[in-house]
A and B are shown apart, each in its own frame.
Chain A
Amino acid sequence: MAIFQELSFREKSTLASLLAVLFVFGGYFADLLAGAGPHDLTTMLGKSAALVISVIVVQLIFQTLAGMFDVKGAEAAVDERDLLVRGRAVAISHLVLSVGAIVVLSRIVIRGAMDEAAGQADVTLFEVANLLLFFFVLSELVNYGAQLFFYRRGF
């Protein structure tokens, strides 16, 4: 608890965002792997939209509560270090997203070629959408994690 208190408002905010994405989408992918998640693209897209809204609501609630306890921190303008931290984190998360895009494309091409050879089409939009969502969520987690790392360790 002591380490949480020594975090700045921005670090707490970033940590809250990381945990919100981790738990909300972690639950979704755990359900999916367990076979309890959506089974078609329409349901999946609807559920994803609901989860994104859930994350935003959690972030808003946290920002409001944290801002009540740390008015000065909440009102502090973003400075050059904040921008640099965000820029570096985004650069790393974009790398993850790019790798994800390559993985998804490879999956489509390789699986598509195998299916074509076998005379059937088996790469579904549902699978592709979930893979894309997974890498998008992973890149967001990396983004928040990298921000925390740079805030704490410096650069």
Chain B
Amino acid sequence: MKGSAISNSIRRLRFDANEMTQQTLAEAVGVTRQTIAAIEQAKYSPSLEVAFRIAAVFGVPLESVFSYDEDSDVV
């Protein structure tokens, strides 16, 4: 299976934010901890709304959290 074309920096951002836990981020965003874990592992691409909420929690623009690899084979 090919990986997702969307990658993210959530793990690093959590680390930089006083080592915020996945559970804390999940509660702030309004999803389950498993969903945050799945997003971090690129097993799930969140909706635009959740993506914006994650960026808002860290106080950074969306493109600082998520990036899209245009060369990826994944459609």
Residues of A within 8 A of B (CB): 8, 10, 76-77, 79-82, 151, 153-155
Contacts and interface: CB of A to CB of B under 8 A. Distances in A.
A79 B30 contact: yes
A153 B3 CA distance: 11
Interface stretch (B13-21, B32-40, B55-63, B65-73): B32-40
Nearest to B45: A155
B31 A80 contact: yes
Contacts of B35: 79-82
B34 A8 contact: yes
A79 B38 CA distance: 13
Contact of B32 (A82, A153, A154): A82
A10 B35 CA distance: 12
B43 A154 contact: yes
Contacts of A77: 32
A151 B35 CA distance: 9
Interface residues of B, number: 15
Contact of A81 (B1, B41, B42, B44): B44
A10 B33 CA distance: 12
Contacts of A154: 38, 41-44
A10 B43 contact: no
A79 B33 CA distance: 10
B29 to A, nearest CB: 9
B44 A155 contact: yes
Contacts of B46: 80-81
B41 to A, nearest CB: 7
30 contacts: A8-B32, A8-B34, A10-B32, A10-B34, A76-B33, A77-B32, A79-B31, A79-B32, A79-B35, A80-B35, A80-B46, A80-B47, A80-B50, A81-B31, A81-B32, A81-B34, A81-B35, A81-B38, A81-B46, A82-B32, A82-B35, A151-B34, A153-B1, A153-B43, A154-B38, A154-B41, A154-B42, A154-B43, A154-B44, A155-B44
